[in-house]
Structure 1
Amino acid sequence: MHERAGTLALPEDLIDVDEVTASYYDIEPDPTNPDQRVVFGTSGHRGSSLDGAFNEAHIVATTAAIVEYRAAQGIDGPLFIGRDTHALSEPAWRSALEVLAAAGVTVKVDSRGSYTPTPAVSVAILCANGAPEALRTTGAGLADGIVVTPSHNPPRDGGFKYNPPNGGPADSDATGWIAARANEILESGWRSVPRVIGSDLFEHPCIQAFDYLDHYVSQLDQVIDIDAIRDAGVRIGADPLGGASVDYWAAISERYGLDLTVVNPNVDPAWPFMTLDWDGKIRMDCSSPNAMASLRHTMTPGPDGSTPYDIATGNDADSDRHGIVTADGLMNPNHYLAVAIEYLFTHRPGWPATAAVGKTLVSSSLIDRVVAAMGRSLIEVPVGFKHFVPGLLDGSVGFGGEESAGASFLRKDGTVWSTDKDGIILALLASEILAVTGKTPSQLHVEQVERFGASVYARVDAPANREQKAKLAALDPSDVTATELAGDPITAKLVRAPGNDAPIGGLKVTTDAAWFAARPSGTEDVYKIYAESFKGAEHLAEVQQAARELVSAALG
């Protein structure tokens, strides 16, 4: 933990925005350097221009690869593109437009010339494709999309995501092909890619305006019981954390007549108003107590027990994540997911009776207990929201959520809303829960603990080099010879997710009282250990230590 974690950023913590944007154009990556090639993780290609990992060459090559990919798939409808507030997002957005326009791709850009949250792009794609009944995975007339964002990453970073016609994150077949082709273009000469340069770009007939804000906000009452929120007079404080949702929250307040205050309407690509995360970096992680320190302080009850808002919320830079703050403090993302699931499946009569709950296998087992008590099916998948897309699309999954505070769910009539994470509707749901039940989500969590038991959950990192991370990702259950975990018999050793039999890229070991999962980091020389215990903090520490030993033994 950094000594200044949770304190306001100082001038020396801030990026030089001019240097970051200049490096985007000035530094040309070395395609023979593994750290400077195009690599799609679970959320697209990410990196910093300063490191030669996110530069003009990457975006030109990746966009050219996307043009070829959509042509090979027969996708010739419009491409919806959005960007967040990171310094690198606007230049990368422009580079992509230059390539797309030259290729004759019709591109839908924000009519305000402003920022666009990830969920707004997903909703636009799905509505354009007539989801869910008319949606095909490939073919003429279908729309797809790009979101230029590194999500909650520090200000020096950039990110680039592709969303196919299903509206969600592209699967590994698509991203693998796109990344491989992009790297070929980097090697063969990315400067030869045709582009529309200069002032002619926004006069090009392929560049068309689209009102993402109105299209998204006008449909929110089909997903959230906004009448209940307004009628109950719930006082909402929404903090966009300097991200793409800033104008959306103001529009939501105005359109629906809510008692909603945009806590911080400022946008600055250096993020001088942020408090430092656990490692001393500026990171727009709305699930982090340190990054959310300012909003948490705002919600500290006064001498009379009152707070300025009944519910306060945060979103990350592209608004696909949520953070929920009540008078009790910032909710653990797992706790809120469990509360949201139980509320939704008992307050959405229009949802299919057979709709299941989707969770990543590193999310809390509290969710398993809640789902079992409701008599619903649980689908446990690997990390990556792409695994929820098919179920959300056809309504067989009512709710899909990740432990990292990302989730989405169906419209009230049981049809698809967004197949990408939507931090805005999860934030609004907290106010609906209070309006309808008279209790905050944190109060409902206490009631869940009384019924299902209290758990302790944490994620820690352990060092691992490139070779060790590759070995971890390829483990077999037989590589783990232990029969006990922290004193309890091991009940399962998983390298594939039980919900869809997809590889988890690591290992999960469970007992009746605890579990851990180990996965290699895609960006650092570490592996991540997720662990949970229903026996308390001391037992969790034993589980974490046992996890390190088990993984070390398996890696040899």
Structure 2
Amino acid sequence: MHERAGTTATADDLIDVEGLVRAYYELKPDASQPTQRVAFGTSGHRGSSLKTAFNEDHILAITQAICEYRAAQGTTGPLFIGADTHALSAPAQTTALDVLVANGVRVLVDEFDDFVPTPAVSHAILKWNNDPAKRAEGEADGIVITPSHNPPADGGFKYNPPHGGPADSDATTWIANRANELIEGGLREVNQAEPSGVETYDFRTNYVDDLANIIDLDAIKRSGIKIGADPLGGASVSYWAAIRDRYGLDLTVVNERVDPTWSFMTLDWDGKIRMDPSSPSAMASVLSHRADFDILTGNDADADRHGIVTPDGGLMNPNHYLAVAIEYLFAHRPGWRDDAAIGKTLVSSSMIDRVASSLGRRLWEVPVGFKWFVPGLIDGSVAFGGEESAGASFLRFDGTVWTTDKDGILLCLLASEIRAVTGKSPSELYRSLVERFGDPAYERTDAPASAEQKARLAKLDGDAIAATGLAGEPITAKLSRAPGNDAAVGGVKVVTEDAWFAARPSGTEDVYKIYAESFRGPEHLREVQAEAQRIVGDALGG
């Protein structure tokens, strides 16, 4: 924990916006350097222009690759494009539009030249493709320009195909490889033109008006509860005001400032500015208002993540809130299919498993990455999909798809519905879950690993683990493939009756991540974490 974590940023912490944007245009990536190549993680290509990892050449190449990919897939409808409030997002959108127009792609940008949250882009894609008349003109897809909650110096660029969610690894691998080829070829095959004939779309009104079909906003209004919403300087700022006005809620936008330096933020645990609504350090200024509202919420820069603050519990652990949301939703959504499953990533809390069992619902456990929930959300076989990093979405009242990307605005509004309908805060409801199912201790830590060890861990088979016990309990499962969809975990998960750990290699550092949980308390969790390093070390050869 950094000594200044949770304190307001000072001038020395802030980026030079002009220098950052200048570097975007002036620095040219060397494709022979791994850190300067296009690389899609779980949610797009990310990096800083100052490190020659997110520059004009990258966006020219990625956008051209997307144009070629969508053409090869037969995607001929409009492309919805939106950007968040990071300083590099606007220049990246300008670059992308040059390439999209030159390739003859029909592009729709925001009608009000406003920032666009990730869920609003997903919503727009699905609305188009679910309309037979619109779909007859060709399937739509989208681009979201955001590095999510990353620090202000970063940029991000991701592609959402016609299913509306994050592109799968087959698509992103093809796009990244082609983009790197284009950079290596001096961008000679990239088409560019002055953007003309670009159409507009009212992302905000289409999204906000449709919320009545997924959230009981009448109940929230009738209850008269006081709601606070902090966009954390992100793309949801105008959306919260529109929601308040459209539905007559007692809702205050706590902070309406948009500042690409994020000078109003408190520093995260490591001393960096990071717009993470699930971090107590990053949310310290928001937490100072907790007594002023019945429900207080935060979102990250593109509003795909949520943070829930209650007067009686403070900032909720994302795992805790997901468990509460699941139990509430499956008791208050009679229009959902009786066989609709509960989706979770395999590093999310086992409290969700116990809630699912008590509901008599099938648990659908998948690898890390929201993309895995997309097919189930589309066909209604998965009614809720959530991950431990405060990202989730769920179905409409009638059991049809809402978004296939994470929706932080939606999960924040759900917290208000829960408070309005039950008369209890989500924190109070989580305490009732603890009384019924136990009190799990959960933590993510890092352990050192060489590049070779990380590569071996990514391909490790559960059968390669020789251990038969973990922290005094027999091991009941050694997973290298997810139980829900049999997809590779990219690591390993080891399970006992009351505890588990999962180990996955970091994509950016010489470490591997250890996620661990114990229903026997913090001391037992420490034992699990220590033995996890030994077990993984033995499997990797030291």
Q: Is the 8 A contact 2:109 2:200 kept in 1?
A: yes
Q: Distance in 2 between matches of 1:123 and 1:391?
A: 16
| CA deviation map 1:256-292 (0-9, x unaligned) | 0000000000000100000000100000000001000
Structure 1: gaps (5+ residues): 300-306
**Helix, strand or coil for the counterpart of 2:513?**
strand
Q: Distance in 1 between matches of 2:130 and 2:444?
A: 40
Structure 2: gaps (5+ residues): none
Paired residue for 2:171?
Answer: 174
**Structure 2 letter corresponding to 1:149:** T
Paired residue for 2:105?
Answer: 105
Taking the TM superposition and a 5 Å limit, the aligned residue runs for 1:13-162 are 13-130=13-130, 141-162=138-159
- Do structure 1's residue 288 and structure 2's residue 276 form an aligned pair? no
Q: Is the 8 A contact 2:25 2:55 kept in 1?
A: yes
Paired residue for 1:478?
Answer: 463
Paired residue for 1:355?
Answer: 340
| CA deviation map 1:407-443 (0-9, x unaligned) | 0000111100000000001000000001000000000
Q: Is the 8 A contact 2:182 2:188 kept in 1?
A: no
CA RMSD, Structure 1 to Structure 2 (Å) = 1.2
**Helix, strand or coil for the counterpart of 2:347?**
coil
Paired residue for 2:298?
Answer: 314
Q: Is the 8 A contact 1:75 1:140 kept in 2?
A: no
**Alignment match of 2:205 (pick from 204, 209, 214):** 214
Q: Distance in 2 between matches of 1:235 and 1:442?
A: 16
Q: Distance in 1 between matches of 2:536 and 2:265?
A: 36
**Helix, strand or coil for the counterpart of 1:522?**
coil
- Do structure 1's residue 502 and structure 2's residue 502 form an aligned pair? no
Paired residue for 1:11?
Answer: 11
Q: Distance in 2 between matches of 1:114 and 1:525?
A: 39
Taking the TM superposition and a 5 Å limit, the aligned residue runs for 1:371-382 are 371-382=356-367
- Do structure 1's residue 324 and structure 2's residue 315 form an aligned pair? no
Q: Is the 8 A contact 1:135 1:166 kept in 2?
A: no
Q: Distance in 2 between matches of 1:195 and 1:242?
A: 32
Q: Distance in 1 between matches of 2:202 and 2:100?
A: 20
Taking the TM superposition and a 5 Å limit, the aligned residue runs for 1:400-439 are 400-439=385-424
Paired residue for 1:552?
Answer: 537
- Do structure 1's residue 271 and structure 2's residue 288 form an aligned pair? no
Q: Distance in 2 between matches of 1:380 and 1:179?
A: 28
Deviation at 1:521, TM superposition (A): 1.2
| CA deviation map 1:30-52 (0-9, x unaligned) | 10111111111100101111111
**Helix, strand or coil for the counterpart of 1:261?**
strand
Q: Is the 8 A contact 1:531 1:543 kept in 2?
A: yes
Paired residue for 1:304?
Answer: none
**Structure 2 letter corresponding to 1:293:** A
Deviation at 1:297, TM superposition (A): 1.7
Q: Distance in 1 between matches of 2:76 and 2:344?
A: 33
Paired residue for 2:505?
Answer: 520
Paired residue for 2:351?
Answer: 366
Deviation at 1:461, TM superposition (A): 1.1
**Structure 2 letter corresponding to 1:284:** M
**Structure 1 letter corresponding to 2:280:** P
**Helix, strand or coil for the counterpart of 1:64?**
helix
Q: Is the 8 A contact 1:119 1:320 kept in 2?
A: yes
Q: Distance in 2 between matches of 1:309 and 1:289?
A: 17
**Helix, strand or coil for the counterpart of 1:219?**
helix
| CA deviation map 1:126-165 (0-9, x unaligned) | 000017x9999xx970000000000000001000010000
Q: Distance in 1 between matches of 2:181 and 2:452?
A: 24
Q: Distance in 2 between matches of 1:264 and 1:322?
A: 16
**Structure 1 letter corresponding to 2:297:** T
| CA deviation map 1:325-351 (0-9, x unaligned) | 001100000000000000000000111
**Helix, strand or coil for the counterpart of 1:399?**
strand
Q: Distance in 2 between matches of 1:270 and 1:541?
A: 38
Paired residue for 2:239?
Answer: 248
Q: Is the 8 A contact 2:305 2:408 kept in 1?
A: yes
**Helix, strand or coil for the counterpart of 1:387?**
helix
Taking the TM superposition and a 5 Å limit, the aligned residue runs for 1:483-494 are 483-494=468-479
Give the % identical residues.
Answer: 69
**Which TM-score applies when normalising by structure 2?**
0.98
| CA deviation map 1:288-345 (0-9, x unaligned) | 010001111211xxxxxxx211000000000000000001100000000000000000
Q: Distance in 2 between matches of 1:515 and 1:278?
A: 25
Q: Is the 8 A contact 1:74 1:140 kept in 2?
A: no
Of 247-256 and 476-485, deviating more is 476-485
Deviation at 1:114, TM superposition (A): 1.5
Q: Distance in 2 between matches of 1:30 and 1:277?
A: 32
**Structure 2 letter corresponding to 1:472:** L
Q: Is the 8 A contact 1:42 1:384 kept in 2?
A: yes
**Structure 2 letter corresponding to 1:188:** G
Paired residue for 2:322?
Answer: 337
**Structure 2 letter corresponding to 1:387:** W
**Helix, strand or coil for the counterpart of 1:190?**
coil
Q: Is the 8 A contact 2:340 2:383 kept in 1?
A: yes
Deviation at 1:478, TM superposition (A): 2.4
Q: Is the 8 A contact 2:128 2:134 kept in 1?
A: no
| CA deviation map 1:56-86 (0-9, x unaligned) | 1111000000000000001010000010000
**Helix, strand or coil for the counterpart of 1:468?**
helix
Q: Distance in 1 between matches of 2:124 and 2:429?
A: 34
Q: Distance in 2 between matches of 1:297 and 1:545?
A: 36
Paired residue for 1:302?
Answer: none
**Structure 1 letter corresponding to 2:211:** L
**Which TM-score applies when normalising by structure 1?**
0.96
Q: Is the 8 A contact 1:29 1:55 kept in 2?
A: yes
**Helix, strand or coil for the counterpart of 2:159?**
strand
Q: Distance in 2 between matches of 1:148 and 1:478?
A: 40
**Helix, strand or coil for the counterpart of 2:514?**
strand
Paired residue for 1:393?
Answer: 378
| CA deviation map 1:501-543 (0-9, x unaligned) | 0001001001001000011111222211100000000110111
Q: Distance in 2 between matches of 1:551 and 1:509?
A: 10
Deviation at 1:121, TM superposition (A): 0.2
Q: Distance in 2 between matches of 1:151 and 1:134?
A: 33
Runs of 4+ in 1 over 3 A off after TM superposition: 133-136
**Helix, strand or coil for the counterpart of 2:292?**
coil
